[in-house]
Chains A and B, each alone.
Chain A
Amino acid sequence: MAEVKLPRRDFLKAAGAAGAAGAAVATGITACAPEVKTADAAPAPSGPETWQVLTPQQVAFFSAAADTIIPKDELSPSGTECGVPVFIDRQLAGAYGAGAKMYRAGPFMKGTPEQGYQLALTPHEFFTAGVAAANDWCVKTYGKTFDRLDQPKRDEALKAMEEGKAEFDGFNSRPFFQQLLTLNMEGFFADPIYGGNRNKASWKMLGFPGLPATYADKIDEYRNKRYAVAEPQSIADFS
């Protein structure tokens, strides 16, 4: 991956939309709450004080991607404000990221699309390679890594990946984007115990009531009538 050095202030500015904690970690200021709070353009701190597995450049990439996929608007806070990069960090650091329950014996062959995922890489390895390839492609195409593109260019870059038109060096952009999208959706919509969906933002947006989800006495009463709760409940609220 091309390492592009930038003055710290520029980096913070570029990463501002990516969330304060992401920017702070990306510049090496870990576990430093006051600095986090002073970073501009970040409405709410949105990360743990230390990242379990993501590198600063990966934090910047995932943060920028999360805010492009889940932009802040009248319906919800941004992806980083909802903790999506935190969710991704924890998932990639844990069993899923390490390839738990995956068959990983060779030989490895390309196969047909119908045969599904055939790489030797674990999800963590896959995203590490994918983020590097995406940033290389962004540098080649736009002269900057993904996190430092302006919003229209980020939209354009993600769309090119989604359509498989972004020609990554040695990596297929389309499956990378699909897995990136899946991980973002999981981070946005999963129970908040996993670090994303902070303040149950996506559940409030949808009108999903969460737990306990026992509706035997409500099916008849709420047929064609909206069932709404003041505050959705998560697993943590019952623990």
Chain B
Amino acid sequence: MVTKLKEVDCVVIGQGLTGVMLAKELTMAGLERGADRKPEEEVVLPRIRDELKYNARKELMVDNSIDTITFRNSSDQTALPIRRWGAFLPGEGVGGTTNHWGGLHWRFLPTDYRIKSTVTERYGAKVIPADMTIEDWPVSYDEMEPFYDKFDKLCGVSGKAGNLKGQKIDGGNIFEGPRTNEYPNPPLKTSAGALLLADACKNVGFHPFPVPFSAPSRPYTNIYGVTLGSCEYCGFCGRTSCEANAKATSATNVMPVLRREDKYTLKTRAFVSKILYDRQAKKVTGVTYTDMKTGEEYEQPAGMVILSAFVFSNTHMMLYSGIGEPYDPKTGKGVVGKNLCYQFEAGATAFFEGKVLNPFMGSPGDRIAFDDFNGENFDHSGLGFLGGGYIVGGSGSAPPIGGRDVPEGTPSWGSEWKKQTVKWYYGSADFNTQGSVYANRANYLDIDPTYKDAIGRPLLRMTYNGTDNDHKMSLYLLSKLEVAIKAMNPTSYELRRRPKNFTVVPYQSTHNTGGTMMGTNPTNSVVNRYQQAWDASNLFILGASTFPQQHGYNPTGPLGALAYWTADKIVNEYIKKPGPLVQA
């Protein structure tokens, strides 16, 4: 039996990054499927420095026995469930994926926001392959800038501006869009391996700069008055939370003040199964959820719903609730599930005999990057592909289970393996290319016909593979990385090309995007420029699921800015006069 609760003004589904940001701006009821994460209890020394628990056993990730997705490379295959996360790692509990993210905090380029127009103007419309479904964003960089700025100040981002109000600044990223303000904090110290890349870049004419990092390099008080710590360079960042209270997560940079707000209620272990939808009125009326602590099912009527789960759950919720037209890859019609994208990363390792790089000491924020081959920062004439990505490298963050590089051809066990492991542990540096994924007609999300989740709903199905464009783009980035690596004079180096087919097995990136894309009208998108659903004006969707495609940067900066942009519109306009903010 479903118990009907008293109506609330608004519910937020998912108390990860954007859900918590919105809850702070609006004050409302937050429903979270996972646990209430209490950093002061869980994220403390010494227990947080546990590579087996957090990295190998993936402590902070969504429990696959409760929910997963099915996967296939193409629509002629049978999709099978991801039985344990591999390629990507959605987080669970208050703070969501920001509890374990790497913390690289970027902005998209001004040209990224109008990518279809930009490439058409530069190279002609025919340069866009027939199956590439890229779109301009319905928002511009200039519109986003104040909200990027606010999001920087929530997280206490550390970095060096390369473009302040149009003035280019050496030492920062000269390709970035104009910033109103310098970063809230100076960049982190650069690791020994990253310094090698910085020097090499200068020698070959690339433009190196310290990566923007979502943790203060010095003690910092954020826009909500929360005092954050500074980065400890512990080397464990990738899959754990930060005991220094430095790396940005909504569990520490918003929740402490949000918990004190009278109008905010947090319900954890509340598994939302469905958004209730009145098709005639084009409104949502609330949600149903199961209290995982009691097994009871509730209906929570609400005047407004914010859907702010991970990319997969956002799209799944729309499809399962019957809101919006599902995408059909055969006809190209429909929008929910369309333009599923990813990050097309390929890496390299360089080995330096005799160098002492202290590989355990560092942070994702101690890296050097160059942006010369991202987006439309370079001329694509005659290259045969579109897109690009930033290139980054350094030497820190190599805990012992996962961080031991040996040259190719080394046995993977036995005395010789040990010898090589010891020989190169202190002398290897890692590099990565953060390639864009320009949407393709064949990559999408829909409902699986066979497998079900723990509360009996059919799972979400992912049909995804890398495209010719992706592979060409990636090889080009690797060739540029190789130029930089050669300039470092390593003893040896290896480039790791992407395999032909995408696989869900080894970890690659949690930068999944799309499925509820934003756009200019209901035939090309699920939400309008304020992330408001075309088919229900009191439903807003937050997170990377609203991206039309994925550019050559980590998505958290852009999706955080969009969350504040939407919050601003809701507070200053929607609440006074509810209804569609853009006429269809």
Contacts and interface: CB of A to CB of B under 8 A. Distances in A.
Interface of A: 68-71, 73, 75-76, 96, 99-105, 107, 109, 111-118, 155, 158, 162, 181, 184-186, 189-191, 193-194, 202-203, 205-216, 218-220, 222-227, 234-235, 237-239
Interface in B235-273: 235-236, 244
Given A116-B83, A207-B426, A211-B46, A69 B401 contact: no
A73 B422 CA distance: 13
Interface hub of B57, B236, B362 (most chain A Cβ within 10 A): B57
Given A73-B415, A191-B52, A226-B426, A101 B46 contact: no
By CB atoms of chain A within 10 A, which of B50, B61, B504 has the most? B50
B361 A114 contact: no
Contact of A219 (B78, B80, B362): B362
A73 B418 contact: yes
B418 A70 contact: yes
A114 B45 contact: no
A216 B195 CA distance: 17
B160 interface: no
B78 A109 contact: yes
Given A102-B83, A224-B356, A238 B235 contact: no
Contacts of A100: 65
Majority SS at the chain A contact face:
loop
Contact of B418 (A75, A111, A116, A239): A75
Contact of B400 (A68, A193, A203, A226): A203
Q: Which of B400, B418, B425 has the most CB of A within 10 A?
A: B400
Interface in B494-551: 501-505
Interface string B419-449: 1011001100000000000000000000000
Given A116-B86, A162-B412, A206-B404, 4 more contacts: A103-B82, A115-B71, A208-B400, A235-B46
Given A155-B414, A191-B51, A213-B234, A113 B503 contact: yes
Nearest to B425: A206
B84 A215 contact: no
A239 B232 contact: no
Given A75-B419, A117-B84, A219 B189 contact: yes
Contact of B65 (A102, A155, A227): A102
B575 interface: no
Given A191-B51, A191-B52, A205-B418, A213 B236 contact: yes
A226 B358 contact: yes
Chain B, interface SS category: loop
B153 interface: no
Given A101-B64, A102-B65, A117-B84, A205 B422 contact: yes
Contact of A206 (B52, B236, B366, B421): B421
Given A112-B77, A115-B504, A224 B355 contact: yes
B247 to A, nearest CB: 13
A67 B255 CA distance: 49
Nearest to A119: B83
29 contacts: A69-B414, A71-B415, A76-B418, A99-B65, A101-B61, A104-B65, A105-B451, A111-B80, A113-B505, A115-B72, A116-B84, A117-B84, A181-B412, A181-B413, A184-B413, A189-B401, A190-B51, A191-B51, A203-B400, A208-B425, A209-B360, A210-B49, A214-B232, A219-B189, A226-B356, A226-B426, A235-B46, A235-B47, A238-B45
B147 to A, nearest CB: 30
B interface residue count range (under 10 / 10 to 19 / 20 to 34 / 35 or more): 35 or more
B412 A186 contact: no
Interface in B356-391: 356-358, 360-362, 366
Given A103-B64, A205-B422, A226-B358, A216 B73 contact: no
Contacts of A68: 413-414
Contacts of A223: 191-192, 195
B461 interface: no
B65 A112 contact: no
Q: Specify which of A107, A114, A117, A209 lies most central, judged by the most chain B CB atoms within 10 Å of its CB.
A: A114
A107 B73 CA distance: 19
B81 interface: yes
A107 B77 CA distance: 15
Interface in B217-241: 230-236
A198 B244 CA distance: 29
B452 interface: yes
A227 B361 contact: yes
A46 B64 CA distance: 35
Given A103-B83, A116-B505, A190 B418 contact: no
A226 B355 CA distance: 9
B489 interface: no
Q: What 5 pairs across the A-B complex have the smallest Cβ distances?
A: A238-B46, A114-B503, A190-B52, A189-B400, A215-B233
Contact of B45 (A101, A206, A212): A212
A4 B298 CA distance: 59
Contacts of A181: 412-413
A116 B81 CA distance: 9
Contacts of B235: 213, 215
Contact of B233 (A75, A194, A207, A219): A219
